[in-house]
């Protein structure tokens, strides 16, 4: 395995790959900084572009978009007081007040540097943990995967939304959509109505483009003609990093704590950066010697939020690479990217694609550096991008969506699917039903079904069944605990979140 480290490094140290990484980070930051466009959308848009690239070029580009996209959200959060992506919601709490105090440059500097730190800490944990988890995960058979999928689904549904029932509706819709096409194990045709195109089922990519790109375009079109109330803070000067080393050092505990929160939340399926930033912010506030200053424009708040959401990238990639289970919508897209390039996530990934995996690790590190440099020195460009009117951006995105859908399998059917999913996603927004459980349901439902059916086959041979699989029993027990706890905490948390967002 270690023999793959150097070839992995060499594979990314080529002019093309480095170019694609810088390009990816740049585009990612643009998507991240414009409210309404997200990191997920950036990956969705560019996944088809990577089809023709070599695996390492393609996956590096996607990773770079991810890093840029998650980090870019801080620009709008600080300068516009609108989170550019959901993961930078908590950055607005102190970032925007700092900008109003005339410290926009410092706020940006802090956000960028700690985004970088978060990414690197997340990456280190990813590098250390995933080979270990891969060794452990080879012990995962049908019983374990079946209960793991169940556990993941329970987490997704109970943690993503504020409303358990709506989370459940969304998750089940995803599971149901995934049943269209050929059934696992016996390849029976289900819900195909004699339509040949439906035999293949819906692809993850079409659902993602529909829900995360088309839906957002329709939503943004609603108020494209409304005058923007938010004021753009353009008086930005960053000297060096914008803050002193003493200030950096004073944040070390905050950084470690926020990274830990970000990584753990990243590993857990379905709860992305939005929650981790919020949790890290709350934790920083509770542990602080001066909690009353939070919200008035202190760097601690920005540090907590930005470290946590970027640390989540490394965290989310741990189960993605070793188990094939994505942590959030953006990593769900990366899963698609890996599969397109024949890198099969799972316990054998280090054996089968060791060079590519280390390539991904190095690409992530280089992306972090690129992000640091581009955001510090290119901030003026992104401020200008924020001024581009939406009615110019949205049609372009729409066109890219259609191209992406066609690129998936060269079938018009996928284009119609994307459109239908887009409209469906819009209606779901109107009903306040969250999207993320649907995506995870769509991915986890088939994993559950497939492994459930396999487990049944195994149970016929070995009558002790699940009782000879302690890991599976653990997952099952934890699932039950999660459901009970989440039912109890549901109201409490919803109230808490609402209060913190309104303040």
Partner 1 sequence: MKKFATALTFAAALTVGAAPAAFAEDAYPNQTINMICTHGAGGDTDYNTRLISRLLEKRFGVSVVVNNVTGANGSIALTQYKDDKTDGYTLIGTNAMSLASNEASGLSDFGYDAFEVISVYGKQCGENLLVRADAPYNTLEELIAATQKEPDSITLGVAMGGSSYIAGLIMQMDNDAKFAMVDAGGDGAERMTSLLGGHIDVTIAPYTLAKEYIESGKVKSLCTLMSERLPATPDIPTAVESGVPNLKIDTLYVLLAPKGTPKEIVDKLNAAVLDIVNNDPEYKEAIMNFNFQEPYALNVEDSIARLKEQREHMMSYAKYLQ
For position 403 contacting partner 1 by CB under 8 A, the verdict is no
Closest to 375 measured CA to CA, from 43, 17, 29, 78: 29
**Of residues 131 and 201, the one with the C-beta less far from partner 1:** 201
Residue 348 or 429 having the CB closest to partner 1: 348
Name every residue whose Cβ is closer than 8 Å to that of residue 165 and which is 6 or more positions away in sequence: none
Residue 257, interface with partner 1 (CB under 8 A)?
no
Query: Which residue, 92 or 206, is less far from partner 1 as judged by CB?
Result: 206
Span from 157-165, 186-194, 313-321, 434-442 in contact with partner 1 (CB under 8 A): 186-194
Of 410, 463, 464, 499, which one interacts with partner 1 (CB under 8 A)? 410
The correct pick among 49, 348, 398, 482 for binding partner 1 (CB under 8 A) is 348
Q: How far is CA 162 from the centre of its chain?
A: 19
CA–CA separation, 77 and 71 (whole Å): 11
Residue 337 interacts with partner 1 (CB under 8 A): yes or no: no
Query: Which of these ranges, 77-85, 252-260, 405-413, 428-436, lies near partner 1 under the rule CB under 8 A?
Result: 405-413
- Rounded Cα–Cα distance for residues 289 and 300 (Å): 11
Helices (H) and strands (E) in the chain, counts: 22, 2
* The pairing of beta strand 181-182 with beta strand 189-190: antiparallel
Instruction: Please identify, among the stretches 59-67, 107-115, 120-128, 191-199, the one whose residues bind partner 1 according to the rule CB under 8 A.
Output: 191-199
> Cβ 344 to partner 1, closest distance in Å?
5
Under the criterion CB under 8 A, does residue 411 sit at the interface with partner 1? yes
User: Do the beta carbons of residue 351 and residue 91 sit within 8 Å?
Assistant: no
Contact characters 121-160, partner 1, x per CB under 8 A: -----------------xxxxx------------------
> Minimum distance between the CB of residue 308 and partner 1, rounded to whole angstroms?
33
- Is residue 186 a contact residue for partner 1 (CB under 8 A)? yes
Q: Which is nearer to partner 1, 257 or 352 (CB)?
A: 352
Residue 470: CB atoms within 10 A of its CB come to 11
**Cα dist. 382→34, 71, 76, 224, 374 in Å?**
9, 12, 9, 20, 10
Using the structure block, give the residue that is written with the tokens 């704590």.
257
Residue 40: strand, helix, or coil:
helix
Partners of 189 in the β-ladder: 182
- Specify which residues 182 forms β-bridges with: 189
Q: What CA–CA distance (Å, rounded) separates 239 from 242? A: 5
- Lookup result for tokens 């459109």: 419
Report if residue 199 touches partner 1, rule: CB under 8 A: yes
2 binds partner 1 (CB under 8 A): no
Q: Report if residue 293 touches partner 1, rule: CB under 8 A.
A: no
**Token pair in block for residue 163:** 């409303």
- Binding part of the chain for partner 1, among 78-86, 184-192, 301-309, 479-487 by CB under 8 A, reads 184-192
Q: Is 409 in the site for partner 1 (CB under 8 A)?
A: yes
CB atoms within 10 A of CB 388: 11
CB of 47 to partner 1, least distance (A): 13
Query: Are the beta carbons of 211 and 433 closer than 8 angstroms?
Result: no
432-471: which residues touch partner 1 (CB under 8 A)?
450, 453-454, 457-458, 460-461
Binds partner 1 by CB under 8 A, chosen from 2, 15, 193, 196: 196
Q: What is the largest CA-CA distance in the chain?
A: 71
Binding of residue 292 to partner 1 (CB under 8 A): no
Q: Which residues contact 189 (CB under 8 A, 6 or more apart)?
A: 181, 182, 183, 199
- Can residue 185 be called a binding residue for partner 1 (CB under 8 A)? yes
Residues that bind partner 1 (CB under 8 A): 51, 138-142, 181-182, 184-187, 189, 196-197, 199-201, 340-342, 344, 346-348, 351-352, 409-411, 450, 453-454, 457-458, 460-461
């Amino acid at each position: 395995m270690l023999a793959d480290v150097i070839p992995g490094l060499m594979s990314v140290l080529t002019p093309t790959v480095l170019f694609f990484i810088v390009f990816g980070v740049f585009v990612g930051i643009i998507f991240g900084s414009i409210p309404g466009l997200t990191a997920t959308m950036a990956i969705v848009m560019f996944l088809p572009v990577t089809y023709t690239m070599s695996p390492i070029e393609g996956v590096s580009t996607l990773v770079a978009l991810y890093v840029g996209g998650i980090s870019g959200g801080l620009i709008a959060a600080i300068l516009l007081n609108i989170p550019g992506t959901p993961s930078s919601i908590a950055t607005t709490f102190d970032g925007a007040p700092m900008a109003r105090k005339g410290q926009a440059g410092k706020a940006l500097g802090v956000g960028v540097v700690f985004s970088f730190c978060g990414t690197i800490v997340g990456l280190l944990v990813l590098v250390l943990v995933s080979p270990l988890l891969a060794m452990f995960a080879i012990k995962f058979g049908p019983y374990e995967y079946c209960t793991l999928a169940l556990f993941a689904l329970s987490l997704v549904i109970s943690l993503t939304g504020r409303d358990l029932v709506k989370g459940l509706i969304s998750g089940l819709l995803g599971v149901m959509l995934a049943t269209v096409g050929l059934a696992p194990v016996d390849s029976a045709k289900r819900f195909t109505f004699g339509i040949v195109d439906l035999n293949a089922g819906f692809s993850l990519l079409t659902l993602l483009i529909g829900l995360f790109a088309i839906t957002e375009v329709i939503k943004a079109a609603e108020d494209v003609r409304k005058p923007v109330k938010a004021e753009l803070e353009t008086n930005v000067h960053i000297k060096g990093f914008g803050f002193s080393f003493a200030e950096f050092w004073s944040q070390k505990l905050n950084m470690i704590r926020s990274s830990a929160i970000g990584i753990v939340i990243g590993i857990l399926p379905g709860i992305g950066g939005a929650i981790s930033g919020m949790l890290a912010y709350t934790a920083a506030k509770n542990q602080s010697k001066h909690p009353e200053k939070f919200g008035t424009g202190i760097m601690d708040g920005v540090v907590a939020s930005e470290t946590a959401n970027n640390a989540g990238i490394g965290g989310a990639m741990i189960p993605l690479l070793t188990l094939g289970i994505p942590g959030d919508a953006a990593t769900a897209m990366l899963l698609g990217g890996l599969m397109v390039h024949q890198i099969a996530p799972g316990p054998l990934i280090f054996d089968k694609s060791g060079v590519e995996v280390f390539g991904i690790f190095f690409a992530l590190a280089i992306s972090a550096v690129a992000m640091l440099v581009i955001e510090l020195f290119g901030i003026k460009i992104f401020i200008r991008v924020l001024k581009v009117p939406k009615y110019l951006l949205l049609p372009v995105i729409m066109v890219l969506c259609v191209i992406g859908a066609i690129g998936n399998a060269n079938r018009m059917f996928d284009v119609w699917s994307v459109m239908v999913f887009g409209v469906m996603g819009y209606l779901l927004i109107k009903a306040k039903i969250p999207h993320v459980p649907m995506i995870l349901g769509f991915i986890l439902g088939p994993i559950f079904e497939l492994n459930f059916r396999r487990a049944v086959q195994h149970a016929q041979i070995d009558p002790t069944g699940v009782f000879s699989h302690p890991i599976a029993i653990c997952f099952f027990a934890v699932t039950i605990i999660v459901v009970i706890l989440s039912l109890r905490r549901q109201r409490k948390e919803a109230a808490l979140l609402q209060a913190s967002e309104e303040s």
